[in-house]
Structure 1
């Protein structure tokens, strides 16, 4: 006898659970006067309309029809998308007391365990303790102590570019990771086959994937945690073991290394060592706090800096005229007899403007990590319900024509022509690139320092040339939490025999 069901019988329990869950949500009284947004379907809302690739482009397009503050719903979960600088400033900065929490991401937070990492940590005592510890090492004054370390590692990167320029992209991550591991754990990365580098790289990639709002259906439907692993829709349960392992490795392995070094009396100066050494009797609670804080600092400072440096190389391959102007300034200020240092920064106005444009043109976090409304609120006559996920579209702000004229073009000079009469035109993009309110990235000064010295040294030493691209077109980058340039080729060659000898000599002297 032919079955009357058009779907596989194995999916019937999942379908029944979904219908029951949606019916419960429907029974709740829906809030009125929500911000406008695309029309959804009964029960499931906008679930089938949510973009999976480059969502910041879609949200920006929706804003043209619905305005700078929009509401969408996914299986009853409200999401408020913020597409303008004013809305972000009014809510996340000025009303930060209500919007400093993070959403409950079931997969990335609960299953994988990142709910204890600083970027995802709920607003409370554990968050405040981590924040206080991290700002002690990551503040603008504190980061100066790491500048000589940064200069040393970037000189080593220059030597790698000299020897094997075609591998520039593969060499960026170990270079930045070597700096951040030294800062956070006092660990000196080995030249080849270092065991810590793959641990950091895997954990960063997994984190970026598992914390994207909407990436896992179980975040909107926690009831899926009860379905068997073999059923369709349970892929997240099969991935959980792998992701959790990488999270535990980046949390425990570098920390345990430092702990053993401290016990032997051989630990190098670092953030983690300073935490352990100041405790006479390290409790399990403090041990847990210190592990997550040091791991969070490493992760936050590494992958975002790597992505930004990749964008720099990409921009230089598309805009050679920008590169020429920066090199002219470097030759004038620094000369060809040495490499630039942090002492030159105040005199390198164009190079600083170029760095600002890197932050603006392809922001590392196009959608800032989502916030959560802790209580009901009203804004512009609209209700923002308690528990709503707040999604700041930083890309839309940094590419708003009225704020940044000709936004798709990479143009550092926009930051040199600012006038006090128009402070709202071409503001510092760091205000939007590193998060908002009480969730601003604590590692922004360290990341900015690393990027500055990297850009200054690379442009002093090398010419970057690439195939002609569509510089004025939308740059469709990767679509995880971080935005990275697509695969691209470029030729990297030393600017002269003099600079080639300078690179070799500077690394030999280290």
Structure 2
């Protein structure tokens, strides 16, 4: 009996193993069948939805059209798709989700301006939403009560009515730039960055940026430029997480998640704002935010983003616009003599232009508009919009929460509104200009976005750009650089960076005063401006490379 029981145990164990294996196989087969069924149903959903939406390339299951994206400058690709499908509005699938790309001005106006009540929200964003500041930042916030609070607080700092108070400091900082360019024109980019960052630093924190090595420039602007480089639709990390959002659920030690640590900018901008708010001598935006904080129950993260958004609204973007201005001067010198004639007639050499001259500087104003149009910095209109409900436009469905992006590159290069679009031509903004055409808005460009999501810093940027360009046109001859043999070095009007906010890649130029009297005026006004601005001189103990004050 004992020997029979012993000999039967291996047989029983073997039978149990077979039964167990059959169970595992059945479970695996069920999972496989379930996965295939889900895939079929989900793909059927995509195809049914595609039939109702604007035209676009045929999507694949799960990946959609993501891997059809070019490696660089996708806005050019979407412009090409609009022409291919003969439609100003197209559908492109990022993974399992459709995105809408708007490629002409009338359509952008119809949807994003005229239907702003519907199209003022944001879609769900993984990279610059869930893994960044989420619903604590006006930039990525869904439309609703909290958005209105943040928008109100932003207008308190740099809204249309408020920015007129900043004309004096913008004017003085710009005079300092002219003085710096007299002796160091080769480093014009650094001087533009210092100027733009200093203006917003004075407004936000009551502290001036006096030199080009200040950490605000060397660290903050560099950080923003790196973020902009990644913030465009793409088929590589980090934007690949928009196609496969499940990958964002992995722990931070996963290789693709290591870059998504707690944003150090949160700690840095809060520290700057708190430092300014506690300085009894400073009347600045940060102080007002801390005063309003208890009323609106603002968190540290919200205080950080509200103060930090100033740099996004007015530093990197403004300096990039001025670099584009220099490129335009080099590439299209024929546009300059009319500006010089107007400035000599209205202003003369013994003072620089000021804001009171604007009404009489008709051609210069057209010149500024053309700078904004010709190569807009926010080339895809900033962050995407999303409708808060299903919308029908010309028979096409735009589902609720769909990613809707305005392709400013295509909008500003449409030959219907802008004949010969790559030519820099200020006269297109003059009433009797040969290339003047109707446009859906009075400004004649869509550089700063649309509707209730228009850039909060638009008025500040337009005001500062006008006085900067008017002054530089008055002050300097800006020309192509010369090589060793004395020949002009060509510039490439298409050689721009690839990020969300574009700027020309580095190029050399010549910047020289237009005359001796003008040179003397630049020096005299620059010295006076530095004295005027000295009340804002100071230092901060904080650095973005650390989370806390330097001990």
| TM-score interval, smaller chain | 0.7 to 0.9
Matched, 1:498 2:523: no
Decide whether the 8 Å contact of 1:329 with 1:350 is kept in 2: yes
Shift of 1:492: 0.8
Decide whether the 8 Å contact of 1:359 with 1:429 is kept in 2: no
- Residues 304/191 of structure 1: CA separation in 2 closer, same or farther (3 Å cut): closer
Match of 1:302 in 2: 315
Match of 1:196 in 2: 216
**Structure-1 separation of matches of 2:251 and 2:441:** 51
1:216-235 map, 5 Å: 216-227=239-250, 234-235=255-256
1:209-220 map, 5 Å: 209-214=229-234, 216-220=239-243
- Residues 456/474 of structure 1: CA separation in 2 closer, same or farther (3 Å cut): closer
Structure with larger Rg: 2
1:136-155 map, 5 Å: 136-155=156-175
Shift of 1:445: 0.9
Q: What TM-score results when the alignment is normalised by the length of structure 1?
A: 0.87
Match of 2:283 in 1: 269
Matched, 1:258 2:281: no
- Residues 255/229 of structure 1: CA separation in 2 closer, same or farther (3 Å cut): closer
- Residues 285/115 of structure 1: CA separation in 2 closer, same or farther (3 Å cut): closer
1:67-146 map, 5 Å: 67-113=87-133, 115-146=135-166
**Structure-2 separation of matches of 1:192 and 1:484:** 18
1:310-459 map, 5 Å: 310-368=323-381, 369-418=383-432, 424=438, 428-429=442-443, 431-459=445-473
Moved more, 93-102 or 310-319: 93-102
Provide structure 1 residue ranges, at least 5 long, that are not aligned to the other structure.
Answer: 1-15
**Structure-1 separation of matches of 2:373 and 2:65:** 30
Shift of 1:499: 1.9
Shift of 1:314: 0.7
- Number of aligned positions between the proteins: 480
**Structure-1 separation of matches of 2:275 and 2:200:** 15
Decide whether the 8 Å contact of 1:54 with 1:477 is kept in 2: no
- Residues 378/474 of structure 1: CA separation in 2 closer, same or farther (3 Å cut): farther
Q: Deviations over 1:181-220 (max 9, x none)?
A: 1112211224364233334313422432343234611122
**Structure-2 separation of matches of 1:474 and 1:490:** 14
Q: Deviations over 1:154-175 (max 9, x none)?
A: 1111121111110001221111
Decide whether the 8 Å contact of 2:103 with 2:407 is kept in 1: yes
Shift of 1:430: 5.4
**Structure-2 separation of matches of 1:144 and 1:226:** 46
**Structure-1 separation of matches of 2:76 and 2:273:** 39
1:150-169 map, 5 Å: 150-169=170-189
**Structure-2 separation of matches of 1:436 and 1:114:** 21
